[in-house]
Chains A and B, each alone.
Chain A
Amino acid sequence: MTVTSVPATEMPKRRPLLLRILKSITLLRESYVGMFGAVLVLFWLVMAVGADLFPLRDPLAQSAPDLLKPALSLAPDGTTYWLGTDDKGRDILSRLIFGSRLVLFWSVLATVVAYAVGMLLGVMAGYRGGWWDEVISFIGNVFLSFPPMVLFLVILTNFGPTSSMGQYIGSLGVGSTVVSGVIIIVAITFGTAPQVARIVRGLVLDLKTRDYIAAAEVRGESPLYIMLVELLPNARGPLIVDACLRLGYVIIAIAVLGFLSLGLPPPEPDWGKMIAEVRGFGAMASNAMIWPAMAISSLVLGLNLLADALREISLRD
């Protein structure tokens, strides 16, 4: 009697991650508006990553004779201030480009933290249900009831860099930018995570009735495994679109905080702060104000258009 080996059922092979990402990018080709958004975002991404590679002036270097120069004016050393200078004679172009690094770094970090917290709370509320759901949803509702600006003002005035919490973070030996950045992340997490949690909870409530969740439960997988490996990855579609939009909001929020001088400390080239700093000079400062305003609008516009196109594409198939 011969033993024949039974071939294992052919599992459909998953394509490598990189290929799948490339595939989804090519889908964008169908939407010109989405392509335009992607180009805008990509442009700022390249600027932020490659800021050191471009022949730019030091974004913090001040030059007393060149205050509030218009665009395309000549610098004393014979080079050009392509976008002019600000009220301290700093080169606006290099401040914008180095600023993009700052803006993207802190906003992406804040969005990631808020998403991690929100997804965890949402999947727990949705999957565990019962008291878990009641408690998490109630806490979420409490923070959602705060108008975002009030939440930011309360957190930043009571727990800002000068409070005991700020001083504690400062005593860990990090720079003042990091202290402000961490507090901004905390404030944004409080404002954003409940919204993310609400969306994730809704998605999970739908997903947890599926057969593969029942299968995992029968297999005896731990709740943690089911939540993190079975549920969250399957909720990613709507979440990617939402993350795009949310990143745009966070960028605006950070720039608004910068504009209100509650954000990253000077002399960091934060876009919102760049506008606030020169605002007092009236008509003379128009040039110095318009460029950062364009920068932030173009980046947020890119993200919004991208999110819009992604949603349209995801609805189609």
Chain B
Amino acid sequence: MLLLAGRRLASMLLIMIVISILLFLAFEGDKLALAGRVLGQYTTMEGKLHWIEENGYNRPLVVRYISWLYGFFTGDWKISAQYNRPVLEFLAPRLANTAILGLCVFIITAVISLILGVLAGVNEGGLRDRVISVISVITTSFPEFASGTFLVAIFVFWLDWLPGSSSFTNGFSVKELVLPVTVLVIFNFGYYTRMTRASMAEVMTSQYVRTAILKGLPPRSVVVKHALRNALIAPFTVMILQLNYLLSGIVVTEVFFAYDGFAKAMYDAALFGDTYVVSACAMVAVFVAVLSQFISDVGYTYLNPRIRFA
């Protein structure tokens, strides 16, 4: 178990290093282009060369990479060209906003998909299973901006129950959180429901569940005490991977509802050409992705006794 976790950790670190090199080369490899993006495209050649010299971009690539990486880990994320503020200072509240949205979506998605998935998987092939399966295929077919369009048309323009934008201009409000959360839950829960269903259905056909049924245990106790624990391992570890989507994948929803979160900050910066913000965001997003992958892998081995005691 420890050996496995150690090996995973080593491969995770290696992947992170390779990714950081790729990101560094993409953003800062071409120093003239970088100077152009930071100073604006109408800067003269002398201006760019002066800036390159002044900021130490004439040092060898390896030295620049190491100092870039060092700067990232010590919180020196440079100055945003768009807002003329330190990148870290401006990203922190955005990250908090995304954390609120992400946490709501994560919890609701987990509850809905675990319940529906178990209900469907317990009786594979039955009417309940078919209905739940079809519903989860249908809902995953609505991209966020499509379901957002429908929900806004109904609840904002027609019924006038909810606000159409969630920028929190008058402070935090739960009402503004409803639509973005709903849109994301609709798009996501189907996948995890199907995942849980498949896992549950597999466990229900296993030998030990059959034994439990044959020895006359009530069906409820077979499901709750015997099947559920094993069936939830796989979906739960997959749900951890959702964290990575909830940080950067929700950009469409954040843009659609003008929600000032992390993904929208990255998107705005990318359109503006604010290189330092984009690279900082990309690093954060990738590190969360690799980390959640690691937690999910190790969690799976820990939760699954067949591997833990192997």
Please, how many angstroms separate the alpha-carbon atoms of A146 and B19 in the complex? 8
Please, how many angstroms separate the alpha-carbon atoms of A301 and B11 in the complex? 38
Q: Is the CB of A275 within 8 A of B145?
A: yes
Q: Is the CB of B149 within 8 A of A145?
A: no
Known A-B contacts A147-B249, A259-B252, A260-B255; the reply to A248 vs B141 at CB < 8 A is: yes
Q: Is the CB of B146 within 8 A of A150?
A: no
Please, how many angstroms separate the alpha-carbon atoms of A142 and B18 in the complex? 7
CB distance from B246 to the nearest CB of A (A): 10
Return the contact of A157 from the options B15, B22, B278 (Cβ within 8 A): B278
Please, how many angstroms separate the alpha-carbon atoms of A276 and B149 in the complex? 10
Interface residue? B200 (CB, 8 A): no
- Chain A residues with CB below 8 A from B145, complex form: 255-256, 259, 272, 275-276, 293
Q: Which of A7-65 contact B (CB under 8 A)?
A: 33
Please, how many angstroms separate the alpha-carbon atoms of A147 and B138 in the complex? 24
Known A-B contacts A301-B138, A304-B141; the reply to A149 vs B249 at CB < 8 A is: yes
B138 to chain A: closest residue by CB: A301
Can you list, as one digit per residue, whether each of A241-257 has a CB less than 8 Å from chain B (1) or not (0)?
Answer: 00000001000100110
Name the prevailing secondary structure of the B interface residues: helix
Please, how many angstroms separate the alpha-carbon atoms of A207 and B152 in the complex? 50
Q: Is the CB of B282 within 8 A of A300?
A: no
Can you list, as one digit per residue, whether each of B150-172 has a CB less than 8 Å from chain A (1) or not (0)?
Answer: 10110011000000100000000
Known A-B contacts A153-B278, A297-B146; the reply to A145 vs B286 at CB < 8 A is: yes
CB distance from A212 to the nearest CB of B (A): 30
CB distance from B103 to the nearest CB of A (A): 18
Can you list, as one digit per residue, whether each of A147-159 has a CB less than 8 Å from chain B (1) or not (0)?
Answer: 1111001101110
Interface residue? A233 (CB, 8 A): no
CB distance from B140 to the nearest CB of A (A): 7
B287 to chain A: closest residue by CB: A145
Please, how many angstroms separate the alpha-carbon atoms of A282 and B256 in the complex? 12
Q: Is the CB of B252 within 8 A of A153?
A: no
A271 to chain B: closest residue by CB: B146
Q: Which of B145, B244, B267 has the most CB atoms of chain A within a 10 A radius of its CB?
A: B145
Interface residue? A203 (CB, 8 A): no
Residue tally, chain B, CB below 8 Å to A = 52
Known A-B contacts A150-B248, A293-B145, A304-B137; the reply to A158 vs B27 at CB < 8 A is: yes
CB distance from B31 to the nearest CB of A (A): 13
Please, how many angstroms separate the alpha-carbon atoms of A158 and B28 in the complex? 10
A272 to chain B: closest residue by CB: B145
Residue tally, chain A, CB below 8 Å to B = 42
Interface residue? B298 (CB, 8 A): no
Please, how many angstroms separate the alpha-carbon atoms of A248 and B141 in the complex? 8
- Chain A residues with CB below 8 A from B244, complex form: 147
Interface hit among A96-104, A111-119, A174-182, A283-291? A283-291
Please, how many angstroms separate the alpha-carbon atoms of A141 and B293 in the complex? 11
- Chain B residues with CB below 8 A from A293, complex form: 145-147, 149-150
Interface residue? A226 (CB, 8 A): no
Please, how many angstroms separate the alpha-carbon atoms of A148 and B156 in the complex? 31
Please, how many angstroms separate the alpha-carbon atoms of A255 and B245 in the complex? 18
Known A-B contacts A150-B282, A283-B157; the reply to A300 vs B141 at CB < 8 A is: yes
Interface residue? B303 (CB, 8 A): no
- Chain B residues with CB below 8 A from A294, complex form: 146
- Chain B residues with CB below 8 A from A163, complex form: 33
CB distance from B281 to the nearest CB of A (A): 8
Known A-B contacts A145-B290, A252-B143, A290-B149; the reply to A305 vs B252 at CB < 8 A is: no
Q: Which of A70-95 contact B (CB under 8 A)?
A: none
Please, how many angstroms separate the alpha-carbon atoms of A233 and B193 in the complex? 32
Q: Which of B243-300 contact A (CB under 8 A)?
A: 244-245, 247-249, 251-252, 255-256, 263, 266-267, 270-271, 273, 278, 281-282, 285-286, 289-290, 293
A37 to chain B: closest residue by CB: B137
CB distance from A189 to the nearest CB of B (A): 16
Since A138-B15, A157-B278, A308-B133 are in contact, a sample of 20 more A-B pairs with Cβ atoms closer than 8 Å, ordered by chain A residue number, is A142-B19, A145-B15, A147-B248, A150-B286, A153-B278, A154-B278, A157-B273, A252-B143, A259-B145, A260-B252, A276-B145, A282-B164, A289-B153, A293-B145, A293-B147, A293-B150, A300-B142, A301-B138, A301-B142, A305-B137
What 8 pairs across the A-B complex have the smallest Cβ distances? A301-B141, A293-B146, A293-B149, A283-B157, A147-B248, A300-B141, A157-B270, A286-B153
Residues of B near any A CB (own CB < 8 A): 11, 14-15, 18-19, 22-23, 26-27, 33, 133-134, 137-138, 140-147, 149-150, 152-153, 156-157, 164, 244-245, 247-249, 251-252, 255-256, 263, 266-267, 270-271, 273, 278, 281-282, 285-286, 289-290, 293
Residues of A near any B CB (own CB < 8 A): 33, 138, 141-142, 145-150, 153-154, 156-158, 163-164, 248, 252, 255-256, 259-261, 272, 275-276, 279, 282-283, 286, 289-290, 293-294, 296-297, 300-301, 304-305, 308
